[in-house]
Structure 1
């Protein structure tokens, strides 16, 4: 495990990855003329304002744009927003939150770009379902099929690590602290309910996510905002601490051992990517199933996803924890840190955390299962899915009883490796990204025909965009 930690600290999440991750976001921001920010009102008009608008029709093999973003949010809004933020502050200091914000701001553009490409290069599988994601735009856009296969392998490993074992471990720890349920029992119960959902495919996964995510987001954010209102006088000080420590590092206080500027940046970016997944290429796999008229319209949902996940949810969690002072106690883990921060103001606040963790983690696991299923399908076809499904569900039980430090390090390793092929593709396909962006934002109010081809904007022949199964 020391080798894995060394790899994460020096290579996977060292200076090279920070430059690649943040640099890609900055490059895409420049090439798209920062349209996500200069036209932020348009982005919101095509996301929040359409949440309660019932679509007239849902094409076969697709789900609604809102279901798609809920499925993607299921993979992002979860333990990263609660425990991941606490872990980032506990090891990197409050300054790590600044670097989470930085990765999120640039990540909004990155997630927009990868979601747009996923819709542009998607196709239908043997079941008539739309499938897409980095493996398709790497293979069809860049013309590098081997890199697409590598991405799929890393996606499968990352799904087992960050999308499964980390979530199960956090659920088990939370339930053990709150109501003394043994970790093994938690793992078995979680595995059973996940199995019930994933056998139903994307339709059932999207249906569950559509109900769980808005419900739990409102409860959790409502409780956190209430705490901040009660302690509003301390918010300016907490924000000042975040900005100060981001550039100076954090000196040792209480049980906290201190953190350097570089370590705060490393932890902040890693935890930020863990929670919003911008640059990983995972969420676009879910977005690619959306029933939408233009790739960039769904890309707006990708940008909104990062904004809501990190800028809003992670920030309010961080402020609650920093104000509480629980981050200074090195003897407690991330779950207990959040429990104490909430229960200090709200009697029984630890139960809000426990319920939130269980439901968020459950949603995250089923979303990441879908990502990995599509990756396995791409590599080995649908015959291999059943075997992988059994392995995935069994891994939940292992995750429940594993050691927390080991789990997080493995998750960081595969998340970082998974991002590399995707970021290479985003840089290589900047031309189609810009072309699709210009086409959409020139007239975002016009609804295009659902069967409209964007082959000319992708600078490839129309034949390359046709369905494999029709060839």
Structure 2
């Protein structure tokens, strides 16, 4: 069995280290160039349309508000990967992995924007009257070669159905390990999480949205405040932490304390792999979360994809990375204990009991929100692949997979995660590249039609919008 897991991990590592990394970069470059580096040129406007419009009533069709849709998608994005994924990347790739996570985030902004735009364009209502969408819908309906598009959609839908139980278990095991640091039995934690997730997810998208739009802002703000306190108390270490991030990103990092050392390729591989998890880069899951959003144009909802990556891939991941680097716990603990590093960092400032409780509570909020939405996403994949009735059975299976976190270890889960996700992303990233022209058309429409961008910013800015 150990040889089998080793082979699975080796194949997953190779996929992420070479072909998938290249494809992700190509996709990000294609979208950045074809959309005129939208994520940078219109960044202030995008932030105004997202951060500045959270409480605004939206026009158009949909079931939930744009922020509720974004909170649902962000609930999936902001999870254990943002807390334990960063130290795992550092443990295996060195401090330079944080730099490559940032690069992944900048690419992820525009790719996620494209996913949501296509998702809104091709969304439809299912048998229950609920808006549904996602990669499987826009690949099967919008890919130039219809037959190839359907094959790619079915391939991704099937592999993502396999992926969901493992990613749910990865979130669960992170919470179980974190709770274990304050003496809570893993079986008890797993059982409580399973019941809680089941109660929420069987209430449908409206209940999920009503929970996540309250949970996400609270958990993000509280975690960032705690991380800032830890970093602030270790403020003298901040310059050294940033120096190690930038230097080891291009030179690697020698062995130090519990850290075994890592080269540049390891920093890139682990930075991009964990960065993709923390931003959902190329997964298309955001398109499922935004399907029910009330919006007047696909591009306006696409801006929330940039918002999500700013929060998850830049703000939270940076804070998580700095806490383990500034406190020095990254070179005190061996790689197999990477999931416990955030707890160790907080304990070094707040004390063993208080620090453990803070991280455990933060982890609980993060993983619960993520698992809630992952169950919903899994159900949508089942619905596309097997139909609405079978999807309800699939939902039960996904809920029960929460309990696997109490009995599986993190290395086993991540070995399968990397392999399955790598296989799933290939057809989707290819489809995104091929369909990028449709996103460009919708972007041009939004920035030139007087009903949208021109109405928002006025005639002076409209001339700038036409030039873009």
Aligned residues of 2:120 and 2:291 also touching (Cα < 8 A): yes
Aligned residues of 2:230 and 2:345 also touching (Cα < 8 A): no
Deviation at 1:52, TM superposition (A): 2.2
Query: In 1, Cα distance between the equivalents of 2:245 and 2:289?
Result: 33
Deviation at 1:298, TM superposition (A): 0.7
Query: In 2, Cα distance between the equivalents of 1:316 and 1:165?
Result: 24
SS in 2 for 1:344: helix
- My pick for the range that moved more, 437-446 or 389-398, is 437-446
1:98 counterpart residue number: 99
1:82 counterpart residue number: 83
Aligned residues of 1:161 and 1:414 also touching (Cα < 8 A): no
| Correspondent of 1:429 among 431, 435, 448 | 435
Q: Superposition pairs for residues 350-389 of structure 1, below 5 Å? A: 350-389=356-395
Scaled by the length of structure 2, the TM-score of the pair is 0.92
SS in 2 for 1:279: coil
Deviations, residues 302-353 of structure 1 (Å, cap 9, x unaligned): 0110111011110011011101111113436133211111121224122111
Q: How many aligned residue pairs are there?
A: 442
Deviation at 1:441, TM superposition (A): 2.6
> Structure 1 runs of 4+ off > 3 angstroms?
56-59
Aligned residues of 1:155 and 1:282 also touching (Cα < 8 A): no
Aligned residues of 2:379 and 2:392 also touching (Cα < 8 A): no
Q: Any stretches of 5+ residues in structure 2 without a counterpart?
A: 457-468
Q: Superposition pairs for residues 32-431 of structure 1, below 5 Å? A: 32-53=35-56, 55=57, 59=61, 62-142=63-143, 143=146, 144-162=149-167, 164-178=168-182, 180-331=183-334, 333-347=337-351, 348-431=354-437
Deviation at 1:123, TM superposition (A): 1.0
Query: In 2, Cα distance between the equivalents of 1:383 and 1:269?
Result: 37
Deviation at 1:14, TM superposition (A): 1.9
Aligned residues of 1:326 and 1:341 also touching (Cα < 8 A): yes
SS in 2 for 1:408: helix
Query: In 1, Cα distance between the equivalents of 2:46 and 2:35?
Result: 14
SS in 2 for 1:103: helix
Query: In 2, Cα distance between the equivalents of 1:193 and 1:315?
Result: 30
Alignment root-mean-square deviation, CA: 1.4
Deviation at 1:150, TM superposition (A): 1.1
Query: In 2, Cα distance between the equivalents of 1:289 and 1:334?
Result: 37
Query: In 2, Cα distance between the equivalents of 1:241 and 1:322?
Result: 9
Deviations, residues 260-288 of structure 1 (Å, cap 9, x unaligned): 11011000000000111021111211112
